[in-house]
Amino acid sequence: MAPSGPVLLVDDDAGIRKVVARTLNLAGIDVVAVPDGSSARAALDTGGMAMVLLDVNLPDVSGLDLVDEIHDRYAVPVVVLSIVDEEADIVRALEAGADDYIRKPFSIRELTARVQAVLRRSAQTDEAPSAVHVGDVTLDKGSYRVRVRGEMISLTPTEYRLLSYMARNPGVVLTHNRLLTSVWGPGYEGETHMLHVTMSRLRRKLATIGGASLIRTTPGVGYEFVADAASAPVNGDAT
């Protein structure tokens, strides 16, 4: 399936912009490449971007702040680029709502596979049911919002896919790898750190509307959606 629009590449290194654009073009993916945050905002304001590939180190704005802004204003998937020794930046980017990350230096094969996976997940979200209703919980795909007993919060695309998948399998302990392959896609087996960070962020959001206990942890195994727990006491945020 062809992407719904181009990939927006934001990196201040002209050499990387050239290599990445050429690589993705060869894979049939259009690219709009810009060097900084201001140019990224201008490109996003025109609309139609399928996803953003974003370096966390930009000359005019914090890439981590931009991740949060993109999800709040534009609701498109974001993949961050980070040099190998900046583990803390990767964690902060995931906590800010990044859908995935690619470590620099990266291989052409890895870059293409990761971008294609995000585009594929986005297309699958578009084809998913417009709403999911389980007990007192309602998920609205069009707005990436979830309601618990009338209280509403907004989710990132990845948070929405994760909660939606769990809500469509209530009462089932879903293993880490099953969630990773079902929500992120094949090739993400073993990426438990990314799952834990996303799950922790999702639980914090649910806690603000009385839904923290909707997700139950089975230590060392996975997570379970508990449909009748919307008003249950908060059990913490263990992952």
Residue 17: in which H helix or E strand, if any? Answer: helix 14-26
Residue 158, both tokens: 């990845």
As a residue count, the chain comes to 239
User: How many other β-carbons are positioned within 10 Å of the β-carbon of residue 45?
Assistant: 9
Residue spans of the domains in the chain: they are 7-126, 129-225
* Residue 50: band (very low, low, confident or very high) from pLDDT cuts 50, 70, 90: very high
pLDDT: is 212 or 181 the higher one?
181
- Does position 231 have pLDDT exceeding 50, yes or no? no
| This prediction's pTM | 0.76
221/225 Cα distance (integer angstroms): 14
pLDDT at 105 (0 to 100): 86
- Does position 23 have pLDDT exceeding 90, yes or no? yes
List, for residues 134-193, the tens digit of each pLDDT value: 888 899 877 888 998 889 998 888 899 999 999 999 999 999 999 999 999 888 888 898
Q: Is 181 exposed, middle or buried (0-12, 13-18, 19+ CB in 10 A)?
A: middle
- Fold (CATH) for 129-225: Arc Repressor Mutant, subunit A (1.10.10)
Considering the chain, what is the average pLDDT of its residues? 87
Residue 154: in which H helix or E strand, if any? Answer: strand 151-154
pLDDT at 202 (0 to 100): 94
Order of strands across the sheet with 173-175? 173-175, 222-225, 215-218
Identify the CATH number of the domain defined by range 7-126. 3.40.50.2300
User: How many other β-carbons are positioned within 10 Å of the β-carbon of residue 132?
Assistant: 19
- Does position 236 have pLDDT exceeding 50, yes or no? no
Residue 104: in which H helix or E strand, if any? Answer: strand 100-104
Long-range CB pairs of 96-105 (<8 Å, 24+ gap) are 96/64, 96/65, 96/67, 96/68, 96/71, 97/67, 97/68, 97/71, 97/156, 97/158, 97/159, 97/201, 98/54, 98/67, 99/51, 99/156, 99/157, 99/158, 100/184, 100/194, 101/194, 102/53
Q: What is the mean pLDDT of residues 99-123?
A: 89
- The closest alpha carbon to 155, from 87, 193, 117, 211, belongs to 211
- Does position 238 have pLDDT exceeding 50, yes or no? no
User: How many other β-carbons are positioned within 10 Å of the β-carbon of residue 80?
Assistant: 27
